[in-house]
Amino acid sequence: MARSTSRTVAADSTTEPAATLVQYSSQFGYSAAGTATGQRRRGGSGRRSPWLIALGAVLPLLILGFWQLTASLQWVPAYLLPSPASVWSAAVDLAERGYLWTDVGISVQRVLIGFGVGAAVGLVLGSVVGLSRVASAFFAPTVGALRAVPSLAWVPLLVLYIGINEDSKVTLIAIGAMFPVYTTVAGALRHVDPHLVELGGAYGLGRFQLLRQVQLPAVVPSVVSGLRLALAQSWLFLVAAELIASSMGLGFRLLDSQQNGRIDRMFLVIILLGILGKTTDALIGLLERYLLKRWG
């Protein structure tokens, strides 16, 4: 039951993200669902063998090798494809000037604050809508309509209302992070095994105790996969926000480098975004592992 719920919820939320970037998000949605169910199947006790972990490094190394080969044999001109070495020296250069750390630092900060605020709002709103039929009837259509607005459509309004500053960027990220959490939490709470809810009632649990002892623990796995989706959305919206209006951050560096023809820096930023996104996702993965062991 719990398993099928989390799967439908995760699959359901793949239809949700803004139309602009559906492909990336839906891809992520499937991978998040796959991880959750996969770990449950192993009962949380299985540890991947070092060989399988090492296998994951093979493809990046192959790509790196092919990239180096392509660059050194000049199959593609250097203004379109910089060599790995030049990307590395661009990194060292930016680090020495201090830009690298400010860019990474400010971007991570924006993602974390936006994700935190968005996830918190999504949790509260999702819980209210998931637990109360009345609240669901009242809120769900409106939230659904807001969710259907491609998120980048908010940018001009945010810039107008809040201005070009940290707040508008963080707000955009929070909007992006909120919806996946809202959808998964509301869906999961609505689908908590009615047998267990009835059981709680039969044993005299009041509304709050029922929530604390039965409903919340039952949705922990879904909440975590919602958080995972939200984090991916946060990085997505970060770059969107920084591309549009900013004076520092990874998205700004990307746009700035394009305008200055610094393709080595563009590659650097893209690689950094991949590494940072994967790292934060892995951290949530650890949390998921722990929570599924405890509550799954």
H/E run at residue 72: helix 50-72
**Euclidean distance between CA atoms 229 and 217, whole angstroms:** 20
Select from 50-58, 78-86, 194-202, 267-275 the region that touches other proteins (CB under 8 A): 194-202
Q: C-beta of 5: minimal distance to other proteins in Å?
A: 12
Q: C-beta of 37: minimal distance to other proteins in Å?
A: 14
| CB of 205 closer than 8 Å to CB of 213 | yes
Q: Which CB sits closer to other proteins, 54 or 202?
A: 202
Q: C-beta of 132: minimal distance to other proteins in Å?
A: 21
**Euclidean distance between CA atoms 37 and 132, whole angstroms:** 28
Confirm or reject binding of residue 108 to other proteins (CB under 8 A): no
Helices 263-295 + 22-41 axis angle, to 10: 30
Confirm or reject binding of residue 285 to other proteins (CB under 8 A): no
Select from 59-67, 113-121, 133-141, 288-296 the region that touches other proteins (CB under 8 A): 288-296
**What number of chain residues touch other proteins (CB under 8 A)?**
18
Confirm or reject binding of residue 2 to other proteins (CB under 8 A): yes
- Give 59-63's long-range contacts (Cβ < 8 A, gap of 24+): none
Confirm or reject binding of residue 195 to other proteins (CB under 8 A): yes
Residue of the chain from 20, 26, 213, 258 that contacts other proteins (CB under 8 A)? 213
**Which position has the token pair 């560096």?**
253
Confirm or reject binding of residue 211 to other proteins (CB under 8 A): no
Confirm or reject binding of residue 198 to other proteins (CB under 8 A): yes
Residue of the chain from 65, 105, 201, 261 that contacts other proteins (CB under 8 A)? 201
Structure tokens at 289: 């592992």
Q: C-beta of 90: minimal distance to other proteins in Å?
A: 49
| CB of 217 closer than 8 Å to CB of 39 | no
Q: Give Cα separations from 152 to 23, 36, 122, 264 (angstroms).
A: 16, 30, 19, 28
Structure tokens at 60: 């990046």
Residues lying near other proteins in the complex (CB under 8 A) are found at: 2, 43, 195-196, 198-199, 201-204, 213-214, 217-218, 220, 294-296
